[in-house]
Amino acid sequence: MSRIAECFTDLRARGRKAVIPYIVAGDPGVELTVELMFALVESGADIIELGVPFSDPMSEGPVIQRAHERALERGMRLRGVFDVMSEFRKHNQKTPVLLMGYANPVEHMGHAQFADHAAASGVDALLTVDIPPEEVEGLNRELRRVGMDNIFLIAPTTPVDRMDRIAEEASGFIYYVSLKGVTGAGNLDREAVARSVAEIRTHTTLPICVGFGIKDGPSAAAVAAVSDGVVMGSALVQRLADVAEAGGDDAAVLVAARELLGDIREHVDSTASNAA
């Protein structure tokens, strides 16, 4: 059983929902990334989504695009992300980590080499925004060889028949994109999310986590009430950038991360408790 499967099994047994923060490797600092990962775990993260910096992050809004640019300027590349993971795994063998990125770096490295390096560094899963299920066979074969999950996105515009195809190729969990558009845009419609999650459940037994539009504790709680977990990226990335750009040192950045994640965790747990 993968770390991700074990995580969701444990969460279900305890009546909890997953909290999955997203950060970009190398932002707001290369040396700070591992410390940030530890701080997020300490503050209640169940799974970490680690962004692989890319020059054309097409699904991202301005906040995360700028984070990618800053990380690339600092020299962070895919192999550097593996180094971050290896350092993290020296002290944490439990928390699942998925890499979120785009096809180009994976294709450039080669599926087999990517899978070998990722698994050796302790990566648990991959989410590539721009590799559709029709084109994933070769990559999936290599990921399965090393025991890594492949996370797929389902959007509000995804046709019902395509959900079946995605469910066939996906493992770990399904990431439901709650909004049309890029990360950080729009406002959540809880009832629409609930209807979509219910529809997706008719196509898969995998956990369903919801991202895009999770800005604070109340929005996380609303989504957690109708799903298996929440993914929060833009709000966290912006908070960390604000602190760093205001002259805050590494300690201040870590405090900001702990405060925001702690608030998200508290709201999500409160929702689960009320439901019970």
Q: Residues of the chain with pLDDT > 70: what percent?
A: 95
**Mean pLDDT lowest among 9-18, 28-37, 109-118, 175-184:** 175-184
CB distance 191 to 162 below 8 Å: no
In the sheet that holds 97-101, the strands lie side by side as 149-150, 125-128, 97-101, 48-51, 18-24, 229-232, 208-211, 174-177, 152-154
Say what the pLDDT of residue 60 is.
Answer: 87
| CA distance linking residue 163 with residue 166, whole number of Å | 5
The token pair at 45 is: 């993260």
pLDDT of 49-67, one tens digit each? 999 999 999 888 899 999 9
Burial of 157 (0-12, 13-18, 19+ CB in 10 A): exposed
For the stretch 153-196, pLDDT in tens is 999 999 999 999 999 999 999 999 987 544 444 567 889 999 99
Instruction: Give the C-alpha separation, 116 to 213, whole Å.
Output: 34
Would you say the C-alpha torsion 88, 99, 60, 205 has a positive or negative sign? negative
Give the mean pLDDT of 213-229. 94
Residue in the block written with tokens 């406002």: 187
Contacting residues for 194 by C-beta, under 8 A, at least 6 apart? 226
Provide mean pLDDT across the span 88-107: 97
pTM of the model: 0.95
Bigger pLDDT: 99 vs 188: 99
Residue 8 has pLDDT above 80, yes or no: yes
